[in-house]
């Protein structure tokens, strides 16, 4: 298990008068265990769980198919195994609670992930168990990163940034989006990432489309290209996006990109401990509104074991920025009205003195130029 994380969570258990915490989602199992249980996110019925008690005990529940993988990464942590096609995972979990004297304990569990059928089985098997929602506790704990988490996210930010730069450097007019994707993924793995999530390769008119993957479309002079990738290690993500142009940009493309650069600078300078997330977004709007184009509903968000995590820096909520946060900052515009979209997405760390850029490989002051 990850001691810096589990110790932080125990403090919250103690504060709230709870006996134990149960994580069930792939994100929070990875967050607490310190590694990914591979098939958990691929097949929802292959339940895995981590159990952390206020008095210092820890356990992992996993399927027999993954037992050797879990034991290889879990050290001395107790592992309970359920047999696929034979056991119900919740029954093995119930046995663990009984063995540890927690049958009537006050337990925080991920209510947003716990299946309704398993909830009913748990209530029937342990009627004295007091269940409390753990979701807000986990969201709050994940917002401030430990030193080890920060180092990992900084490494991942540079992997993503380097991969995009390498991909852009490998193509020219006539290359396809698939060529970009091939170079992008090769670089991610060459740099040591375990996998990647949400690879976006969108060129020309497709650069207006959010969250689309590569096609056989070929680059043409003047094309605006928007490429984003989330590199992943041990369940942690770092998302970076860079905008390029094939050959020379049009005057309107240059004007719009210059505005996004101004937005990037303004938002970066506004993010510091004690700042208001809503006010940071309003700072972004003041600059972006000069374009008279539709604005994204947030300009930054926390990031870690999920692609997007609260808090969001937008108009619909307000949060205090904290020292230790790691954020994805992304001024963008999809619908310019000129047949292209643009985005600058960076990873930043919040420190006592302000924001620090983690994705610092590529200079984003100007669009990257792809040979025409």
pTM attached to this predicted model: 0.94
For residues 308-325, average pLDDT: 97
271-293 mean pLDDT: 97
Examine domains 3-143 and 147-370 and report if their fold is the same: no
- Residue 289: other Cβ atoms inside 10 A: 11
Quick one: CA dihedral 308, 310, 313, 314, positive or negative?
Answer: positive
pLDDT digits (tens, 9 = 90+) for 331-352: 999 999 999 999 999 999 999 9
Rounded to whole angstroms, how far apart are CA atoms 59 and 38?
18
Mean pLDDT of all residues in the chain? 97
Instruction: State the fold for domain 3-143.
Output: Creatine Amidinohydrolase; Chain A, domain 1 (3.40.350)
- Who's near 314: CB < 8 A, 6+ residues apart? 277, 278, 281, 297, 298, 299
Number of Cα atoms under 13 Å in the Cβ half of residue 129: 26
What is d(CA 50, CA 7) in angstroms, rounded to the nearest whole number?
A: 14
The domain limits of the chain are 3-143, 147-370
Mean pLDDT of 249-255: 97
- Strands of 130-133's sheet, edge to edge? 78-82, 58-63, 49-53, 20-23, 106-109, 130-133
What is the DSSP track for 63-119? EGGGHHHHHHHHTT-EEEEE-TTT--HHHHHHHHHHHTT-TT-EEEE-TTTS-HHHH
The residue among 85, 110, 82, 115 whose CA lies nearest residue 96 is: 82
Residue 264, both tokens: 């990037």
Residue 309 to residue 201: CA distance in whole angstroms: 23
Say whether domain 147-370 belongs to CATH 3.30.565.10.
no
> What average pLDDT does this structure show over 192-211?
97
Asked if the model's pLDDT at residue 44 lies above 90, the reply is: no
């Amino acid at each position: 298990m990850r001691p810096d994380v589990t110790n932080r969570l125990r403090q919250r258990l103690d504060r709230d008068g709870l006996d134990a915490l149960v994580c069930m989602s792939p994100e929070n199992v990875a967050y607490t265990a310190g590694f990914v249980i591979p098939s958990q996110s691929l097949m929802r019925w292959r339940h895995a769980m981590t159990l952390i008690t206020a008095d210092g005990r820890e356990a992992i529940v996993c399927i027999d198919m993954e037992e050797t993988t879990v034991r290889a990464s879990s050290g001395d942590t107790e592992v309970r195994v359920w047999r696929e096609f034979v056991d119900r995972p919740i029954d093995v979990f119930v046995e663990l609670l009984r063995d540890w004297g927690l049958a009537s304990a006050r337990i925080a569990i991920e209510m947003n992930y716990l299946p309704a059928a398993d909830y009913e089985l748990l209530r029937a098997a342990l009627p004295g168990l007091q269940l409390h929602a753990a979701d807000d506790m986990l969201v709050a704990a994940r917002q401030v990163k430990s030193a080890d988490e920060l180092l990992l996210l900084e490494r991942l930010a540079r992997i993503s940034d380097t991969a995009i730069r390498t991909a852009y450097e490998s193509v020219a007019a006539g290359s396809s989006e698939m060529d970009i994707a091939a170079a992008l993924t090769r670089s991610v793995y060459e740099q040591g990432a375990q996998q990647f999530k949400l690879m976006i390769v969108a060129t020309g008119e497709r650069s207006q489309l959010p969250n689309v993957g590569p096609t056989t479309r070929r680059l043409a002079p003047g094309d605006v290209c928007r490429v984003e990738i989330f590199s992943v290690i041990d369940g942690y993500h770092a998302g970076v996006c860079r905008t390029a142009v094939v050959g020379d940009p049009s005057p309107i493309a240059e004007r719009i990109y210059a505005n996004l650069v101004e937005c990037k600078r303004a938002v970066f300078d506004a993010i510091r401990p004690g700042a208001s997330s809503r006010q940071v977004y309003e700072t972004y709007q003041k600059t972006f509104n000069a374009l008279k184009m539709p604005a994204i509903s947030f300009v930054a968000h926390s990031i870690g074991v999920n692609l997007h995590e609260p808090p969001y820096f937008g108009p619909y909520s307000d949060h205090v920025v904290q020292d230790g946060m790691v954020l994805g900052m992304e001024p963008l515009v999809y619908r310019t009205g000129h047949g292209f979209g643009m985005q600058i997405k960076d990873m930043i760390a919040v420190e006592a003195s302000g924001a620090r850029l983690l994705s610092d490989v590529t200079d984003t002051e100007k669009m990257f130029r792809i040979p025409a």
